[in-house]
Amino acid sequence: MRYSQLFGKTSKTAPTDADSVNAKLLTQGGFIQKEISGVYNYLPLGLRVLNKIQNIVREEMNKIEGQEILMPAMTSEEGWVTTGRNAMDVLFHLKGQGDTNLVLNPTHEEVVTPLVQKYVFSYRDLPMAVYQIQNKFRNEARAKSGLLRGREFNMKDLYSFHTDEADLDRYYEIVKKAYFEIYKRIGLGDITVLTFASGGAFSPFSHEFQTLNENGEDTIHLCKKCKVAINKEIIDTQKTCPECGNDKLEAVKATEVGNIFKLRTKFSEAFKFYYSDQNGQDKIVEMGCFGFGPSRTMGTIVEACHDDKGIIWPKSVAPYQVHLVGLDLFEENIKTQAEKIYQDLLDKNIEVLFDDRSDVTAGAKFADADLIGNPIRLVISKRSLENGGVEFKNRNKEKSEILPLDSFLNKIIAK
């Protein structure tokens, strides 16, 4: 993509209402643009990042036999009356024609349970798991922190259905592993820890995945030995590490990026969702629910991966792999070389953002490259050619090096 043609340019000044690093850098970098509080437009750069996160999540859900479906955002209020959650304060209510009561779903237990119930009757239909990647709505009193707490936001929610608690427990551990794999793949693996949280009425614990970062809105209590934490809601009742018994837990700041929960029979009982077992007896279905917020995670990556110049995207979710800066393009020879490098990268299917602007200074181009934060910066200029080629620099390193024009591609492919 040529930066001169890209919709959504960088801005030198931070939005005045940006209350977080991710809101500031993502807006200044041209990734997102706020519509109203807690509701954002995704510009081309931002949508690329969001899609990459979603695709990693999708692949990992497919690997554990999750079947992708798509449920509506807007449904009748009926299911929420059935479960008694219709008074939940974040639920958006609206009226359909004929004065019907509709809601915008902030989560989909009230939709997925009766939906799955239409197709699952027997123990032979279980276990099964469905998920969706879809936008949710929460009428937050204080939407804030950019993509971290939105009123319209993207979620992956997986729901699993089981014959008994043992099978739910088995699958719960499988999903837990898949989540670790997701955080590893999106570049948050080293700083994301399993955190014990309240399990509600039915289960001893639920689990959050918390990404350590100094701007985090949560405080968690970390066992550094096990890389496991306790969240603040249950720290008074669970004062030691549940894995090793360590009572020297350290209070650290973190951002929640996932939440997994054994719903057990809470929703299947509300909807009278039974299956027929091997003996033809009706048994209640056990359920699990597994949330992951791609948009929230996008914000969290920025909170955790940036410096004072801008974002430092992990390779797997970066909008482009290479940020190609062309300087001195008014010289025909340099322009030709720059265009050739751009074409060579495209031909090798290497994602490249080519800053081909002719009316911008070198300093401004470097600042934009740092702000946008693609992993590799290539500079082609009069000086780089005099030095023997194209200048190569990793976004997260200080040192640059000159690569010869006839072999720079190998180095980039190897990275």
Residues in touch with a copy of itself (CB under 8 A): 5-9, 33, 35-36, 39-44, 47, 50, 65, 67-76, 92-94, 96-97, 100, 102, 104, 111, 115-116, 118-119, 128, 130, 135, 137, 139-141, 151-152
User: What are the residues facing 101 on neighbouring strands?
Assistant: 95
Measured from the CB atom, the residue of 108 and 393 that comes closer to a copy of itself is 108
CB closer to a copy of itself, 54 vs 195? 54
The distance of closest approach from Cβ of residue 384 to a copy of itself in the complex, given in angstroms and rounded to an integer, is 27
Structure tokens at 132: 């969706």
Cβ proximity to a copy of itself, 271 vs 408, nearer residue: 271
Of the two residues 64 and 71, which places its CB atom closer to a copy of itself in the complex? 71
Pairing relation of β-strands 376-380 and 322-326?
Answer: parallel
Q: How far is the CB of 352 from a copy of itself (least distance, A)?
A: 16
Give the shortest CB-61-to-a copy of itself separation in angstroms: 12
Q: Are 218 and 257 in contact (CB under 8 A)?
A: no
Q: How far apart are CA 166 and CA 343, in angstroms?
A: 56
Q: How far is the CB of 93 from a copy of itself (least distance, A)?
A: 7
Which tokens hold the place of 100? 């019907």
Cis before 44? omega within 30: no
SS3 156: strand
Residue 104 CB, shortest distance to a copy of itself, in Å, is: 8
Measured distance CA(127)–CA(104) in Å, rounded:
29
Closest CA to 203 of 264, 162, 159, 287: 264
Q: What's the Cα-to-Cα distance from 187 to each of 177, 198, 262, 323, 366, rounded to whole Å?
A: 16, 27, 27, 19, 24
CB 203 within 8 A of CB 169: no
What minimum distance in Å lies between the beta carbon of 6 and a copy of itself?
7
Cβ neighbours, 10 Å, residue 56:
20
Min separation Cβ 410 and a copy of itself, Å: 29
Q: Do 247 and 240 touch, CB atoms closer than 8 A?
A: yes
CB of 102 to a copy of itself, least distance (A): 8
How near is the Cβ of 80 to a copy of itself at its closest, in Å?
Answer: 13
Beta carbon nearer to a copy of itself, 103 or 341: 103
Rounded to the nearest angstrom, the gap between the alpha carbon of residue 204 and the centroid of all alpha carbons in its chain is 27
Per-residue CA distances from 198 to 157, 168, 291, 354, 370 (Å): 19, 18, 15, 49, 41
Mapped onto helix, strand or coil, the DSSP state of residue 277 is coil
Cα–Cα distance between 11 and 180 in angstroms, integer? 35
